[in-house]
Copies of this chain bind each other. A is one copy, B any other.
Amino acid sequence: MTTLTEVAKLAGVTAATVSNVLRNRGKVGVATRQRVLEAVDTLGYRPHLTARALAEGSAPTLALMVSSIANPFYPEFALAAERAARQSGRFLIVCNTNEDPAIGRAYLEQIAGTLSEGVLVMNANLDFDDLRKTQARGTAVVLCMWERPDAPPGMPCIAVDFFAAGALAARHLLDLGHKRIGAIIGSQADGVHAARYEGFCATLREAGIAHVPAEARFTRDSIQGGYEAATELLTALPEVTAIFATNDLPALGAMHAAADLGRKVPEDLSVIGITDIQLARESRPALSTVAVPTEAAATMAVRLLRALIDGSAVGALMQVAPAPELVVRASTGSARNRRS
A50 with B115: CB separation less than 8 A: yes
Q: Which residues of B contact A72 (CB under 8 A)?
A: 72, 75
**Other-chain contact of A94, B60, B78, B115 (Cβ < 8 Å):** B78
Q: Which residues of B contact A74 (CB under 8 A)?
A: 75
Q: Which residues of B contact A68 (CB under 8 A)?
A: 79
**Other-chain contact of A92, B82, B94, B279 (Cβ < 8 Å):** B94
B50 with A54: CB separation less than 8 A: yes
Q: Which residues of B contact A115 (CB under 8 A)?
A: 49-50, 60-61, 91
Known: A50-B54, A50-B114, A75-B75. A138 touches B69 (CB 8 A): no
B278 with A93: CB separation less than 8 A: no
Q: Which residues of B contact A279 (CB under 8 A)?
A: 279
B223 with A282: CB separation less than 8 A: yes
| C-alpha gap A259/B109 in the complex (Å) | 51
B60 with A70: CB separation less than 8 A: no
Interface residues of A in 49-73 (CB under 8 A from B): 49-51, 53-54, 59-61, 68-72
What is the distance, in angstroms, from A8's C-beta to the closest C-beta of chain B?
18
Q: Which residues of B contact A61 (CB under 8 A)?
A: 61, 93, 115
Q: Which residues of B contact A329 (CB under 8 A)?
A: none
Residue A123 CB within 8 A of the other chain: no
| C-alpha gap A327/B168 in the complex (Å) | 41
Residue A1 CB within 8 A of the other chain: yes
What is the distance, in angstroms, from A291's C-beta to the closest C-beta of chain B?
16
Using a Cβ–Cβ cut-off of 8 Å, how many residues does chain A contribute to the interface with B? 50
| C-alpha gap A329/B78 in the complex (Å) | 32
Residue A9 CB within 8 A of the other chain: no
| C-alpha gap A48/B55 in the complex (Å) | 13
Q: Which residues of B contact A223 (CB under 8 A)?
A: 282
B70 with A278: CB separation less than 8 A: yes
Residue A110 CB within 8 A of the other chain: yes
B54 with A113: CB separation less than 8 A: no
Q: Which residues of B contact A287 (CB under 8 A)?
A: none
Known: A91-B93, A93-B92, A278-B70. A113 touches B1 (CB 8 A): yes
Which among A53, A93, A115 has the greatest number of chain B C-beta atoms within 10 A? A115
Residue A46 CB within 8 A of the other chain: yes
A46 with B109: CB separation less than 8 A: yes
A94 with B94: CB separation less than 8 A: yes
| C-alpha gap A260/B330 in the complex (Å) | 13
Q: Which residues of B contact A109 (CB under 8 A)?
A: 46
**Other-chain contact of A110, B49, B78, B96, B253 (Cβ < 8 Å):** B49
What is the distance, in angstroms, from A81's C-beta to the closest C-beta of chain B?
10
Q: Which residues of B contact A138 (CB under 8 A)?
A: 1
Smallest CB-CB A-B distances: 6 pairs = A49-B114, A49-B115, A223-B282, A48-B114, A70-B75, A69-B75
Show 15 A/B contacts (Cβ-Cβ < 8 Å), sorted by A.
A1-B138, A46-B109, A46-B113, A47-B114, A49-B115, A50-B115, A51-B54, A61-B115, A69-B69, A70-B75, A70-B76, A94-B94, A224-B282, A260-B284, A279-B279
